[in-house]
C-alpha cells in the first residue's frame, strides 16, 4: 500500500477536518449546485471543476487508501454525501478516481508510487474498467486477455460503462492472464486504446461513461498491479469495497436533497387552503423519508468508524450500508416526487434527477440482488446454530 510522502497534497488543519461537512457544502454550493443542470445537459463535467476538486484535496481519497496525508474514512464519507447532494454525477468522479487509485495502491512494492502520487494530487484522472459486454455482476467472466510478450503484456478486449472513461488519463483494467485474473494500469495514450462514449444513460448524465476497446495494447511488465491471480479477488475486490462505501454515502446525499425538496414543497404548497404538510398522509411520507435518511446515514457512519478503527467488520458494514442507503435513496426520491406532484416530473429538476440517479446507485458496485445474495449468505452463516 502506498504510504510515502504525499507532495503537494493540500494539508488540513485538525479543526478544518472537523468542518468537512461545512467545507464540502460550501464548495458544492459555490462550484457545483448552480451548474448541475448545465453539466447534465452537456453530459460532461468541465476540467476547471475537476481542478478545483483536486486543489481542495477531494480527489486524494481517505488516508486509509493513500497514506498519511488523506482525511479519515468517516470524513471522506461526509465529503461524498455533500458532493452527491449537489450532483451525483460529479460525486461519481470521486468514487471511480479514488477506487482506481486505491486499487493501484494495493499493488504494493512501490512500483506505482509515482503514479499514485499523481492521482492523489489530481494531476491525472483514473477510471476503473471491469465491466464488459459479457461480464457485469459476474466479474469472473471477464474476457479481456493479457498475454505475456517479451518484457511486457499485450492486452485485447472491450470494457463498457467506464465512468469518466471519456476523460481519464489512465485505466485500472481487469483482465485475464492464462485464465487467471489480473489488474493492469493502462494509460489512455497507449496505442490501441480506443475510447468512445457509451450509449447515453438517463442517470448520472454528466459522468462521461466510455466504451473502451483494447486492440493489441502493449504495456510494460510493471503495469501489472500486484500479482497474476489477484485481479478480481484482491485488486478489484478492494476497489469495489471502496466504491460501495462511496456509493452508500452518495445515496445519503441524494436522499437528503430529496427530503429537503419534499419538506420545502409540503410546507409552501397550499391546496384548498390547507398546507400539504398539514395532511397526515403527507406527514407519513415525510416521516418515512426522514427515517430512511437518518437510518442510511447511521449505517454509513458505522461503516466509516469500522474502517477508521480497522474493525474486521468494516467490509460487512460497508456492504450493508450500500444496500440500505441505495434502497433508501430510491424510496425517498420517489416519495419526494409524490409530494411534489406534477412538479416532481419536471425534467432537470432536483427531484426528477434524484429519482434517476438513485436508481442507478442500486445497480453500480453490485446490484441490490447481488448484495442480497452476499449479505443473506453471511447472515445464514452468522446466526445458524
Ligand X SMILES: Cc1cc2nc3c(=O)[nH]c(=O)nc-3n(C[C@H](O)[C@H](O)[C@H](O)COP(=O)(O)OP(=O)(O)OC[C@H]3O[C@@H](n4cnc5c(N)ncnc54)[C@H](O)[C@@H]3O)c2cc1C
Q: Which residues are at the interface with ligand X (CB under 6 A)?
A: 96, 127-131, 136-137, 161-163, 201, 203-204, 209, 360, 363-364, 367, 369-370, 373
Nearest CA among 256, 24, 4, 179 for reference residue 105: 4
- Assess contact for 289 and 264: CB atoms under 8 A: no
Least Cβ distance, residue 173 to ligand X (angstroms): 9
Of the pair 4, 187, the CB lying nearest ligand X is at 187
Nearer to ligand X, 25 or 176 (CB): 176
Q: How far is the CB of 60 from ligand X (least distance, A)?
A: 19
At 136, phi and psi to the nearest 5?
A: -110, -100
Least separation in angstroms between CB 41 and ligand X: 17
| Residue where the block lists cell 452476499 | 374
- Closest approach of ligand X to the CB of residue 200, in Å: 11
Residue found under cell 486499487:
103
**Nearest distance, CB of residue 271 and ligand X, angstroms:** 36
Select 172 or 289, whichever has its Cβ closest to ligand X: 172
C-alpha–C-alpha distance, residues 14 and 18, integer Å: 7
CB 106 within 8 A of CB 225: yes
Determine contact, residues 208/42, Cβ cutoff 8 Å.
no
Retrieve residue 51's grid coordinates: 481542478
Cα 58 to Cα 75: distance, rounded to the nearest angstrom: 11
As a residue count, the chain comes to: 385
Q: Hey, how many other C-beta atoms are within 10 angstroms of the C-beta on 295?
A: 15
Exposure string for 224-235, b = 16+ CB within 10 A, e = fewer? bbbbbebbbebb
| CA neighbor of 112 nearest in space, from 184, 193, 58 | 184
User: Rounded to the nearest whole angstrom, what is the least distance from the CB of residue 375 to ligand X in the complex?
Assistant: 12
CB of 204 to ligand X, least distance (A): 4
CB 196 to ligand X: min, Å: 15
Cβ proximity to ligand X: between 43 and 313 the closer is 43
Q: Residue 67 Cβ, how far from ligand X at the closest point, in Å?
A: 24
How many whole angstroms separate alpha carbon 221 and alpha carbon 107? Answer: 13
> Closest approach of Cβ 160 to ligand X, in Å?
7
In the complex, which residue's CB is closest to ligand X? Answer: 136
Amino acid at each position: 500500500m502506498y504510504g510515502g510522502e504525499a507532495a503537494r497534497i493540500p494539508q488540513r488543519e485538525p479543526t478544518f477536518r472537523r468542518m468537512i461537512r461545512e467545507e464540502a457544502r460550501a464548495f458544492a454550493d459555490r462550484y457545483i449546485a448552480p451548474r448541475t443542470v448545465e453539466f447534465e445537459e452537456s453530459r460532461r463535467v468541465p476540467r476547471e471543476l475537476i481542478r478545483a476538486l483536486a486543489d481542495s484535496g477531494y480527489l486524494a481519497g481517505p488516508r486509509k487508501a493513500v497514506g498519511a496525508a488523506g482525511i479519515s474514512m468517516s470524513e471522506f464519507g461526509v465529503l461524498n454525501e455533500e458532493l452527491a447532494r449537489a450532483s451525483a454525477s460529479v460525486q461519481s468522479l470521486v468514487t471511480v478516481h479514488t477506487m482506481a487509485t486505491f486499487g493501484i495502491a494495493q499493488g504494493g512494492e512501490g512500483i506505482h508510487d509515482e503514479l499514485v502520487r499523481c492521482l492523489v494530487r489530481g494531476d491525472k484522472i483514473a477510471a476503473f474498467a471491469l465491466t464488459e459486454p459479457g461480464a457485469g455482476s459476474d466479474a469472473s467472466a471477464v474476457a479481456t486477455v493479457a498475454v505475456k510478450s517479451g518484457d511486457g503484456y499485450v492486452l485485447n478486449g472491450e470494457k463498457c460503462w467506464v465512468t469518466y472513461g471519456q476523460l481519464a488519463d489512465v485505466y485500472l483494467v481487469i483482465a485475464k492472464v492464462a485464465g487467471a485474473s489480473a489488474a493492469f494500469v493502462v494509460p489512455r495514450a497507449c496505442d490501441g486504446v480506443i475510447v468512445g462514449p457509451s450509449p447515453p444513460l438517463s442517470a448520472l448524465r454528466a459522468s462521461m461513461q466510455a466504451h473502451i476497446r483494447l486492440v493489441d495494447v502493449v504495456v510494460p511488465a510493471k503495469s501489472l498491479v500486484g500479482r497474476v491471480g489477484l485481479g478480481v479477488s484482491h485488486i478489484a475486490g478492494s476497489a469495489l469495497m471502496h466504491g460501495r462505501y462511496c456509493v452508500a454515502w452518495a445515496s445519503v446525499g441524494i436522499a437528503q436533497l430529496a427530503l429537503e425538496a419534499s419538506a420545502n414543497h409540503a410546507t409552501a404548497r397550499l391546496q384548498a387552503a390547507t398546507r400539504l404538510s398539514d395532511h397526515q398522509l403527507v406527514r407519513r411520507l415525510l416521516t418515512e423519508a426522514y427515517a430512511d435518511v437518518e437510518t442510511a446515514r447511521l449505517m454509513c457512519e458505522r461503516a466509516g468508524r469500522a474502517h477508521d478503527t480497522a474493525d474486521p467488520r468494516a467490509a460487512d458494514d460497508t456492504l450493508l450500508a450500500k444496500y440500505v442507503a441505495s434502497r433508501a435513496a430510491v424510496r425517498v426520491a420517489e416519495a419526494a416526487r409524490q409530494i411534489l406532484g406534477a412538479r416532481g416530473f419536471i425534467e432537470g429538476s432536483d427531484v426528477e434527477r434524484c429519482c434517476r440517479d438513485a436508481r442507478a446507485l442500486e445497480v453500480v458496485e453490485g446490484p441490490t440482488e447481488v448484495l442480497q445474495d452476499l449479505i443473506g449468505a453471511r447472515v445464514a452463516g452468522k446466526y445458524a446454530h
